[in-house]
Structure formats: C-alpha cells, structure tokens
C-alpha cells in the first residue's frame, strides 16, 4: 500500500499553484512593464487582482485539505 505524506503533498501543490499563478501573470505583467501602446494597463491591473484573489482562494483550499483526495480535487480545479 502506498502512503502519501500529506504535508509534502501540500508543499508540492503549493509549488504547482505558484507556477500556474506565474503563468497567468506573465502576459499581464508584460502589458504593465512595457506600457504597450493601445494596451490598457488599468484593465491589466484589474485582471492581476482577479488572479491574486483566485490563487489566494486556492492557497486556502490547499491548506484546508484534510486528505489526499481533497488536495487532488483542489489541484485539478486550478
């Protein structure tokens, strides 16, 4: 039987969360950093706020996962 260390699994899930968050931030960061003409920096910042909120909720869900099945559900929903 395979036993999963939930603490280590949560650490891995947080690493996945951070990678996905960075992936979503990349195009928005580019708009803000480069001040691309015709691109709305304010809209990009609003989108960045939405991404931050989304992944803050995911972080809370990962921390609250009571077992591997719950953790897997959270990771798969990202």
pLDDT at 67: 95
Measured between alpha carbons, how far is residue 16 from residues 8, 30, 53 in Å? Answer: 13, 22, 16
C-alpha–C-alpha distance, residues 4 and 53, integer Å: 29
Q: Residue 33 pLDDT > 80, yes or no?
A: no
How far apart CA 42 and CA 30 sit, in angstroms, is: 13
The whole-angstrom separation of Cα 39 and Cα 22 is 20
Confidence of residue 38 (pLDDT cuts 50, 70, 90): low
Nearest to 17 by CA among 45, 44, 52: 52
Residue 6, pLDDT score: 95
User: How large is the average pLDDT for residues 55-70?
Assistant: 96
pLDDT-based confidence at residue 41 (cuts at 50, 70, 90): confident
């Amino acid at each position: 039987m395979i036993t999963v260390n939930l603490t280590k699994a949560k650490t891995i899930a947080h690493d996945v969360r951070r990678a996905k968050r960075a992936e979503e931030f990349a195009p928005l960061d580019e708009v803000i950093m480069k001040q691309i003409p015709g691109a709305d920096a304010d809209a990009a910042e609003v989108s960045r706020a939405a991404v931050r909120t989304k992944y803050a909720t995911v972080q809370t869900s990962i921390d609250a996962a009571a077992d591997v099945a719950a953790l897997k559900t959270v990771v798969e929903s990202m």
